[in-house]
Amino acid sequence: MTTWLLAGGGTAGHVNPLLATADALRRRRPDDEVLVLGTAEGLEARLVPERGYELLVIPRLPFPRRPDRAALTFAPAFRRTVQSITGLIAERGVDAVAGFGGYAAAPAYLAARRAVVPLALHEANAKPGMANRLGARLTASVGVAFPGTPLPRARVVGMPLRREIETLDRPAARAEALALHGLDPDRPVLLATGGSLGARRINATVREAAPAILDAGWSILHLVGGRSEVTDPGLPHYRMLDYSDRMELALAAADFAVSRAGAATVSELAALGIPAAYVPYPVGNGEQRFNARGVVAAGGGLLVEDARFLPGYLTDTVLPILRDPERRAAMAAAAVSTGFRDGADRMVDLLLAAL
């Protein structure tokens, strides 16, 4: 039996690949023990126990970016955390550590080196985060979701995806998906989503351009998120929801998508062969633009800056594609050529090789 310590968390971008990898480990090696290292504040505090894994909690230690009081206390607190994880590795008989970025990952990487146990890591974004830039210097077992990710010795394994996405048969699930969302089975579907909190630009633009899209014979499934400022116009064939409890069925219904370019979203759309117009989040370090670069270069999607994603872009650029089934089919084939449905198993292969 092998005991694994999977470290990462904070956001869904770190937690979901970690859990997908943990699930793949559990399927392939049911006698192994999988522990998860995270914080009490991140999404992992809820999602990890819900999935049936033991969560070991460490303090949330954001890296200080200014020479202020927090910077003075960071170094000793970080050293104590590394020391506590090193002790935990010995106490629980951990055989290998795998990191997925986020607050818990950096101290786990240093603890793995101190405890002299194998280390592997996964980077979800094409532009790596600070923790994984550190961790990649300490191991040769580096998995990445996207080609061209600038980490040493990186191996493309794809994104570890939820089992419901990995195994989704879109044609077989389409009737259920359309019925669940109240959509006409005789009309293709545009899926618009900005993530769980929504995206103001996407929501406003899709809402305003909706009549033209509907007039072209399409339905719209618009997931506006929990903080949306748009209201449902009540148009036929237009379905507005805060979110979908069955996101795999929202994807099964989609013939084209408009979305942000988060690593998981890009990976899911590519794996399922759904062409899309990607509107990267305009705040932060710009990683979303890099996430979509490969699928767009292959011809499986469009990339448009947030400020340019106005109703005229939908009617002038996207609508001609919606009216052209052959072009959509070509884009779908290009998208799926860049995707991975077996990212979780490929990541497990990397972990096992690290042993």
Nearest to 193 by CA among 255, 252, 279: 279
Q: Which residues 6+ apart lie within 8 Å of 95 measured at CB?
A: 2, 3, 4, 117, 118, 355
Whether the pLDDT of residue 270 is over 70: the answer is yes
Domain that holds residue 134: 3-161+341-354
Question: Residues 207, 298: one domain?
Answer: yes
Whether the pLDDT of residue 148 is over 80: the answer is yes
CATH code for the domain of 36:
3.40.50.2000
pTM of the model: 0.93
Mean pLDDT of 146-161: 97
Share of the chain above pLDDT 90, in %: 83
Please, how many CA atoms are within 13 Å of residue 3, restricted to the half-sphere of its CB?
12
Beta bridge partners of 276: 257, 301
Question: Residues 141, 205: one domain?
Answer: no
DSSP SS3 for 99: strand
Amino acid at 137: R
List pLDDT tens digits, range 173-228.
Answer: 999 999 999 999 999 999 999 876 558 899 999 999 999 999 999 999 999 987 77
Mean pLDDT of 133-158: 97
List pLDDT tens digits, range 81-109.
Answer: 999 999 999 999 999 999 999 889 999 99
pLDDT at 12: 84
Question: Residues 81, 176: one domain?
Answer: no
Q: Which helix (H) or strand (E) holds 54?
A: strand 54-57
Q: How many residues does the chain have?
A: 355
pLDDT class for 75, splitting at 50, 70, 90? confident
Query: What total of structural domains would you count in the chain?
Result: 2
Q: Which helix (H) or strand (E) holds 222?
A: strand 219-223
Question: Residues 247, 288: one domain?
Answer: yes
